[in-house]
Structure 1
Amino acid sequence: MLFYLWKENFMTKKFKLIATAAAGIEAIVGNELRHLGYEKVQVENSRVRFEGDVTDIIKTNLWLRTADRVKIVLAEFEARTFEELFQGTKAVAWDELLPMDAAFPVSGKSQKSALHNVPSVQAITKKAIVNQLSEAYHRRTRLPETGALYPIEVAINKDKVMLTLDTTGSSLFKRGYRVAKGGAPMKENMAAALILLAHWYPEKPFVDPVCGSGTLPIEAAMIGYNIAPGLMRSFAFENWSFVTPTLVKQIKNEAKAQANFDVELDITGYDIDGSMIEIAKENARAANLEDSITFKQQAVKDFKTDKINGVVVANPPYGERLSDQESVRQLYKQMGQVFLPHESWSEYILTSDLEFEKYYGKKASKKRKLYNGSLRTDYFQYWGKRIRN
C-alpha cells in the first residue's frame, strides 16, 4: 500500500523541468511550450525552463517538435571542490526516484569551472548517488543496476552544478519514421524549427526544391495535420516505476485524437537525384504520409508553378569544401532566378555561405543565425507579397 501511495504522490508532484535545444532554437521551443499551455516559461541558452508533473513530462515529450530532450532538474548548487560536489549530490533523495535495481549512468560536462576534469566529476557524482541509495536501501553490496534506465547528467558551468534526469532517452529528433537517409540529412527537430520560423500555414503550398531524404516535407505534413511528433517512438520514462502505463496510453490516445486529416495539404519535394526521391518516398511511407506529399525528381532550374502565396523552405548544399563551392553557388543563382518571378511566394533558405545573397541575387528580408549541428548557419528569409484570392 505504501508503494502505491508513494506513486500517487509522484503523479501529482510538480517538477522543475527543462527542454534542451540547439543554439538559436530556444525561443521556438519556448513558443511551443506556451502554445501547449505552459505559463512559467523561461528561455535560456540551449534550454527552456518550465514546470510540470508526470502528465506534463509525457505530454511535452510527445508534442515538442524542436526540442532535443525533456529533463527533470534534481538539484542546483555551487561546487568548487569534489567534496562540495559529493555532498551536494548526496543531498538529493535519489531513492525517491530510483528503484533499487535502477541503471543510472552518469554523463557530464564542465565549462569555465574549478572542477574541469569531466571523468572525475562523473565518478564523484556516481559515487555520491551510490552512497545515498546504499544507505536508503540498506545495501552493503553493490547495487545491481539491472533494471530500467535513468540517465543522469551533471553539468557544471562557472562552478554552478545542475543535476538532471533525462526523461526522453534517444533525442527527440528521432521521430521513428526515418528508415533511410542520404549523405547529410537534416535532423527532424531542426527541420520543424525552419518550418515554424517560416510561418507556413496548411492552406499554403509548400515546396522544398532540394528535399534530399524528405525531412522538411514530412515535418511540414506532420505540422499541417497536427500530428504529435513523438507518437511513433518510445521514451525513457515509459519504464520508470512512478509512470503508469495506463497514463502513457491515455495521453498518447489524446494526442492521436488531436490529429486532423481532413486538412487539404499541398506539399511537394523535388530533388535532382532520383535515388534520393525514392528514399524520401520510403520515409514518407514509414510516417504514413505517402499520400499527403508529392515527391518528384526535378532540377531546381526547372521549377515552375502558377500557384500563389506559397512557401519555399530549403536546406541546399553549403559548399563547405572549396571543390564544391562553385557548383553550389551556381545552384543558389538558379534558385534566385526561378523564384524571383513568384512575388507572392516566400522563400526561406538555410546555408553557411555568408555570400548567399550575392549569388541568389537579392537581399534577404531578414537573416537569423542558427546552428545546424555544430555548424554556424544563416537562415535567409525572403517575404512574399501576399495576393488575395
Structure 2
Amino acid sequence: MNQYFATVARGLEAIAAEELEQLGAQAVKPEFCGVSFEGDRALLYRVNLWARLPFRILMKIHHFPCQDAEDLYRGIHSIDWFDYLTPDLTLAVNATGKNDRLNHTHFTAIQVKKAIVEQQQERAGERSNVDTVAPDVRVNVHIDRSGCTVSLDSSGNSLHRRGYRPAMGAAPLKESLAAALIQLSGWQPDQMFYDPLCGSGTLPLEASLRALNIAPGLFRERFGFETWPDFDLPLLEDLLQEAEDSQKHELPAPIWGSDRDENVIRQAIANAENCGVEEHVWFSCTELADVVAPADSGILLCNPPYGERIGRIGEMAAFYKLLGDVLKQRFKGWTAFILSGNKELAQSIGLKSSQRIPVYNGALPCQLMKYELY
C-alpha cells in the first residue's frame, strides 16, 4: 500500500474524503486542505481519472526530521532518486509550509533541487534539467514543525482543469468547485437541474458529466504519473477503457443552463461539444427576468456575481432582489441553491434560507444558501 494525499479546496475535505472512499481508497483521513489515504497503483490511476473534487494527488515517498537547510539537503540527498527520476527526465520542485529556519518556500525548493541534481551528478555524471511548466517529474516538499514530507505529484496539471473548457466567461467557477457545489446540493441525476446564470456552462456541464457517468480525467492530455519510470501503460489503458464502457447514453432528467449574454452561451455550447454532451445539456440565451421553471420540481443551482468581481454593489442588490422574486414567484416545488460571497447582497434575495453551507471560492469565503420553495 502506498500513502497518498489529495489536495482540495479549503472546506471541502469531508466530501472529498467521501468521494475517495467511494473510489476504493483505504485509511481515508480528512486534513487541512486535503485528504490522506492509502491504496495501490491502480487506485492512484483511478483517483486521477475519476475524482471530481481534488486538485492534485501526491504520492508520499519519504519523511524525515528537518529543522534547517542542512537537514533538508541531507534528507533529500538520502533518497535514491534513480527510483523516481533519471537524468533524462525533467524536474520541477514545489515547496509548501515552513518552520522557524525554513520560512521561504522558494529557498526550500532551490535546496531540494540542488540535493537531487547533485546526487545525480555524483552517481551518473549528468543531471535532470528543470522545467517549471511541464516537467516529467514534479516533486512536492512540505515543511512543518516535525519535519519534511517528500511526495511526487501524480496529476501533472491541476485536476480541476478538465481540458474541456478553453472557452470561459468573465468569472468562471473552477470545475472542481462546481462539482463540489453539485454534491453539496444533494442533487441526484433523476432530478431536473437548472442554472439560470450559467455563464460558460460549468455547473450544467459538471452535472451532465456526473449524470452520464463520464470520468473527468478522460479529457486530459496526460497525467503526471505517465512519465514516471514505473508507469504501467496497460493498467492505464484498461482503466480508460473501463471508464469509456461505463458511460451512460441518456440523461435520466433534463439539465439546462441559461444566461443573458449570447457570447457566453456560445462558449457554453462549445464547451459542451468539447466534452461530448452537446446532445444532452440544453443552453439558451434568456434574461433573468424572463426565466420560468421548466418543470414542476428540480434543483436550481447558480453562482451570481458577488459585486467584488463583476458590477457595482447597488446594481447587484437590484439583481439579487430580482433573482429572489423569480424564485419565489415561478419556482414553487423546487429547491434552489445560491453561492454568494457577499452577505449584504444575499440579504437582497428576500427569501429565508433553510441552510447555509460555508464554502471557499479560491480565497474568498462564501456561503451556499439553500432555499426550499413552496
Asked if residue 60 in structure 1 is aligned to residue 68 in structure 2, the reply is: no
What is the aligned length? 370
Moved more, 113-122 or 252-261: 113-122
Contact 2:6-2:56 within 8 A present in 1 as well: yes
Asked if residue 324 in structure 1 is aligned to residue 312 in structure 2, the reply is: yes
Q: What does 1:230-309 correspond to in 2, within 5 Å?
A: 230-233=217-220, 234-305=222-293, 307-309=295-297
Deviation at 1:185, TM superposition (A): 1.2
Structure 1 CA distance for aligned equivalents of residues 183 and 2 of structure 2:
28
Contact 1:20-1:47 within 8 A present in 2 as well: yes
- Secondary structure of 2:149's counterpart equals strand
The superposition leaves residues 276-298 of structure 1 with CA deviations (integer Å, 9 ceiling, x where unpaired) of 11111111111111111111111
Q: Could you tell me which amino acid in structure 2 is paired with residue 381 of structure 1?
A: K
Contact 1:113-1:159 within 8 A present in 2 as well: no
**Aligned with 2:61 (options 65, 70, 74):** 74
**Aligned with 1:42 (options 18, 25, 29):** 29
Deviation at 1:145, TM superposition (A): 6.6
- Secondary structure of 1:40's counterpart equals strand
Structure 2 CA distance for aligned equivalents of residues 102 and 22 of structure 1:
30
Contact 1:134-1:143 within 8 A present in 2 as well: no
Structure 2 CA distance for aligned equivalents of residues 26 and 374 of structure 1:
15
Q: Could you tell me which amino acid in structure 1 is paired with residue 241 of structure 2?
A: N
Q: Could you tell me which amino acid in structure 2 is paired with residue 374 of structure 1?
A: A
Asked if residue 139 in structure 1 is aligned to residue 124 in structure 2, the reply is: yes
Structure 1 CA distance for aligned equivalents of residues 280 and 126 of structure 2:
57
Asked if residue 168 in structure 1 is aligned to residue 136 in structure 2, the reply is: no
The superposition leaves residues 278-336 of structure 1 with CA deviations (integer Å, 9 ceiling, x where unpaired) of 11111111111111111111112222126233101101100016961112121211111
**Aligned with 1:361 (options 347, 350, 353):** 350
Aligned position for 1:179: 166
Structure 1 CA distance for aligned equivalents of residues 337 and 104 of structure 2:
42
TM-score (norm 1): 0.90
**Aligned with 2:187 (options 186, 190, 200):** 200
Structure 2 CA distance for aligned equivalents of residues 38 and 15 of structure 1:
11
Deviation at 1:141, TM superposition (A): 4.2
Aligned position for 1:3: none
Contact 1:101-1:145 within 8 A present in 2 as well: no
Contact 2:67-2:101 within 8 A present in 1 as well: yes
Deviation at 1:45, TM superposition (A): 0.6
Moved more, 207-216 or 241-250: 241-250
Aligned position for 2:341: 352
Q: Could you tell me which amino acid in structure 1 is paired with residue 336 of structure 2?
A: E
Asked if residue 89 in structure 1 is aligned to residue 89 in structure 2, the reply is: no
Contact 1:198-1:348 within 8 A present in 2 as well: yes
Moved more, 365-374 or 93-102: 93-102
Q: Could you tell me which amino acid in structure 2 is paired with residue 355 of structure 1?
A: E
Structure 1 CA distance for aligned equivalents of residues 189 and 55 of structure 2:
25
The superposition leaves residues 232-267 of structure 1 with CA deviations (integer Å, 9 ceiling, x where unpaired) of 112111222211222111111011112112343311
Alignment CA distance shift 1:219-1:323 (3 Å): closer
Alignment CA distance shift 1:322-1:236 (3 Å): closer
- Secondary structure of 2:44's counterpart equals helix
Moved more, 32-41 or 62-71: 32-41
Structure 2 CA distance for aligned equivalents of residues 163 and 148 of structure 1:
17
Aligned position for 1:120: 107
Contact 1:265-1:292 within 8 A present in 2 as well: no
Gaps of 5+ in 2: none
Among all aligned residue pairs of Structure 1 and Structure 2, give the percentage whose two residues are the same amino acid: 34
Gaps of 5+ in 1: 1-13
Aligned position for 1:220: 207
Contact 1:348-1:382 within 8 A present in 2 as well: yes
Deviation at 1:37, TM superposition (A): 2.2
Deviation at 1:338, TM superposition (A): 1.2
The superposition leaves residues 183-241 of structure 1 with CA deviations (integer Å, 9 ceiling, x where unpaired) of 11111111111111111111111110100001110000001111101011121112222
How large is the RMSD of aligned CA atoms in angstroms? 2.0
Alignment CA distance shift 1:384-1:87 (3 Å): farther
Q: Could you tell me which amino acid in structure 1 is paired with residue 255 of structure 2?
A: I
Contact 1:218-1:284 within 8 A present in 2 as well: yes
Contact 2:318-2:348 within 8 A present in 1 as well: yes
- Secondary structure of 1:238's counterpart equals helix
Structure 1 CA distance for aligned equivalents of residues 310 and 90 of structure 2:
47
Structure 1 CA distance for aligned equivalents of residues 311 and 204 of structure 2:
29
Alignment CA distance shift 1:306-1:221 (3 Å): closer
- Secondary structure of 1:98's counterpart equals coil
TM-score (norm 2): 0.93
